[in-house]
Structure 1
Amino acid sequence: MNPANLPPDARKALAAFAQCTGWEQRTRLLMQWGEHLAPLHAVERCAANRVQGCESQVWLVAERRNGQWQFRASSEARLLRGLLALLLVRVEGANDQDLAALDLVDWFAQLHLSRQLSPSRSNGLQAVLQRMGELTNR
């Protein structure tokens, strides 16, 4: 995908991760991105908002604002919070077709984070993406 077509925060993420010279630097940056997630309220960390198919606990909340879907997510796992933050900046302003067409493996490869996508994390992030689609089709 052409970076010019990405949401502004996704472009910032690409630029930030491109500056990293090694895996340790990427890991630190990934955890910093996880700190950008807006916290979920205790009542939002409920079974109805839990994403099934993730090894770690992940909660996802969607709301429509100004005609666009906005997502918030959280996890207790630090690295997963970073991956969620990077997923959320990538889907910012996305419609149903964009969500369905998103190639997570490609997105995280562009960020040079493929190493971080173990099969279980990749499956979990696919479950988050699938849940986004379910929430937006209500």
Structure 2
Amino acid sequence: MPDSQLFTLLPAELIAAVNQIEQANNWQDKYRQIMLLGKQLPKLPDHLKQEDAQVKGCESQAWLYHHQQNGQHFYLADSDARIVKGLIAILLVANQGKTTEQITQFDVHHCFDTLGLSGQLSPSRTNGLAALASAIKHYARGNIT
């Protein structure tokens, strides 16, 4: 388990980068923004890329850690695929530092509709994204297993 000090609010630059995806005019620009977002997401050290932290249902390898403090939920996540890292960053921006109620009400499909990404991702990416969003909610509800 990572040190609790690693679980922090996300940098303003990361949040701003997610907002730029919505402003992009076409899929190529949105894709480029997602890839850049993936580069901005901090990399998990190799020793934290444990099998028990892997999100099941993702085609790529993805790891997710959770920490709750003062009623707020914080996550660390990474993937071996840059596009997935960018998608993870979008999910983290939407959920990092939020309450259980806020995370439970988060609708990944609405989020991606708003960003103009719905219908642009392959079915396997969409399924992986849903698995990640589900894992985030699962942890927020206190279901650690």
Q: What are the equivalent positions in structure 2 for 1:15-94 lying under 5 Å apart?
A: 15-94=19-98
Amino acid at match of 1:95: T
94-103 vs 24-33, which moves further: 94-103
Q: Normalised by the size of structure 1, how large is the TM-score?
A: 0.81
Q: Normalised by the size of structure 2, how large is the TM-score?
A: 0.78
How far off is 1:133 after superposition?
A: 2.7
Seq. identity, %: 34
Distance 1:13 1:75 in 2: 18
How far off is 1:88 after superposition?
A: 0.5
How far off is 1:67 after superposition?
A: 4.2
How far off is 1:125 after superposition?
A: 1.6
In the TM superposition, what whole-angstrom CA distance separates every residue of 1:12-35 from its partner, at most 9, and x where no partner exists?
Answer: 345412331222111111101111
Q: What stretches of structure 1 move > 6 A for 4+ residues in a row? A: 8-11
Q: Is the 8 A contact 2:14 2:37 kept in 1?
A: no
The equivalent residue for 1:131 is 135
Change (3 A) 1:75 1:116: farther
The aligned length equals 131
Change (3 A) 1:101 1:10: farther
Q: Where do 5+ consecutive residues of structure 2 fail to align?
A: 1-11
The equivalent residue for 2:112 is 108
Q: Where do 5+ consecutive residues of structure 1 fail to align?
A: 1-7
Distance 1:14 1:63 in 2: 23
Change (3 A) 1:33 1:69: same
Distance 1:56 1:135 in 2: 20
How far off is 1:103 after superposition?
A: 1.2
